[in-house]
């Protein structure tokens, strides 16, 4: 309970971009359902740019919240009121968030173009590999390969993805960021390994 508001549900979209459409944001959709089921009147966000960094998307989400009989409230306090001035502030904040996203995207594209021109690798390094000192070639990361192999072994024993993630953590297998693997990361690990094995079988059959 804080300022007369009781939290009815926590909904967090992990790894979802602020420009992703509502259809690709399961926690956001769950929050809208919670508004209806709990008859909640407040949709709390840390900051308005956590809703969306797109003016049209922000308006769509705000409208969806309103249809559930609730209003969006930012913890940081910007534009929470009902006055014309508050509405103007919300519009400015949403526009600034979209502008900032555009700047970041533009800089990223320029940086990638520069790397491409230098012949450097572009794109993420898949789990199980590391980028060589030349900045182009991939080399095997034995520690991550061991993690992948263990994840496949645990999954083959019919453990759920969450259970596999928990067991990996208990055994000391952590992500590159030093955190516990999420269920979707385990799913990608297992699928990635299965695809790799399939490609090796196809190559073997051609020899």
pLDDT of residue 200: 41
The reported pLDDT for the residue numbered 193 is 55
- 145/114 same-domain check: no
Tokens of 201: 């079988």
The residue among 196, 193, 171 whose CA lies nearest residue 181 is 171
Q: Torsion angle of alpha carbons 143, 146, 148, 153, nearest 10°?
A: -160
C-alpha span between 130 and 133 (Å, rounded) = 9
Distance CA 26, CA 16 (A): 9
- Residues 193-199: contacts with CB within 8 Å, 24+ apart? 193/148, 193/149, 193/151, 193/152, 194/152
pLDDT(89) > 70: yes
CA distances from 161 to 121, 145, 154 (A): 31, 18, 9
Residues 107 and 144 in one domain: no
Measured CA angle at 86 (ends 81, 89), to 5 deg? 140
Structural domain including 56 reads 1-120
Instruction: Name the β-bridge partners of 140.
Output: 129
Same domain (yes/no): 72, 107: yes
Three-class DSSP category at 82? coil
111 and 141 assigned to the same domain: no
Number of domains present in the structure of the chain: 2
Kindly state whether residues 92 and 143 are assigned to the same domain: no
Q: 160 pLDDT exceeds 60?
A: yes
Rounded to 10 degrees, the C-alpha dihedral 190/196/202/207 comes to: -140
The reply to whether 68 and 113 lie within a common domain is yes
Lowest-confidence region among 72-76, 110-114, 182-186, 203-207:
203-207
Same domain for 95 and 185:
no
- Domain end (from 87, 120, 153): 120
Whether residues 113 and 144 fall in one domain:
no
Domain-ending residue, one of 120, 146, 166 = 120
- CATH number where 100 lies: 3.40.50
Residues 78 and 170 in one domain: no
pLDDT at 112: 77
Q: Are 122 and 160 in contact (CB under 8 A)?
A: no
Cβ atoms 180, 174 nearer than 8 A:
yes
Q: Are 51 and 72 in contact (CB under 8 A)?
A: yes
Please tell me whether residues 103 and 181 are part of one structural domain. Answer: no
116 pLDDT higher than 90: no
Residue 97 shares a structural domain with residue 4: yes
Residues 92 and 169 in one domain: no
Q: What is the pLDDT of residues 9-62, one digit of tens each?
A: 888 887 788 888 888 888 999 999 999 998 888 999 988 988 899 999 999 999
Q: Where among 120, 137, 164 does a domain terminate?
A: 120
- pLDDT 10s digits, 76-86: 888 888 899 99
Half-sphere exposure of 17 (CA within 13 A, CB side): 10
């Amino acid at each position: 309970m804080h300022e007369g508001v009781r939290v009815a549900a926590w909904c967090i979209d992990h790894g979802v971009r602020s420009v992703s459409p509502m259809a690709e944001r399961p926690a956001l959709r769950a929050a809208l359902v919670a508004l209806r089921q709990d008859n909640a009147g407040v949709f709390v966000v840390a900051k308005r740019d956590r809703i969306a960094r797109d003016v049209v998307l922000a308006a769509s989400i705000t409208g969806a919240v309103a249809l559930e009989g609730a209003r969006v409230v930012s913890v940081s306090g910007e534009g929470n009121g009902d006055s014309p001035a508050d509405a103007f502030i919300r519009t400015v904040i949403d526009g600034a968030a979209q502008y900032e996203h555009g700047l970041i995207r533009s800089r990223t594209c320029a940086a990638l173009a520069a790397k491409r021109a230098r012949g450097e690798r572009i794109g993420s390094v898949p789990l199980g590999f590391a980028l060589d000192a030349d900045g182009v070639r991939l080399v095997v990361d034995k520690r991550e390969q061991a993690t992948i192999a263990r994840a496949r072994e645990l999954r083959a024993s019919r453990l759920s993805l969450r259970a596999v993630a928990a067991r990996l953590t208990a055994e000391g297998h952590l992500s590159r960021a030093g955190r516990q693997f999420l269920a979707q990361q385990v799913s990608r690990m297992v699928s990635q390994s299965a695809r790799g094995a399939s490609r090796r079988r196809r190559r073997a059959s051609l020899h």
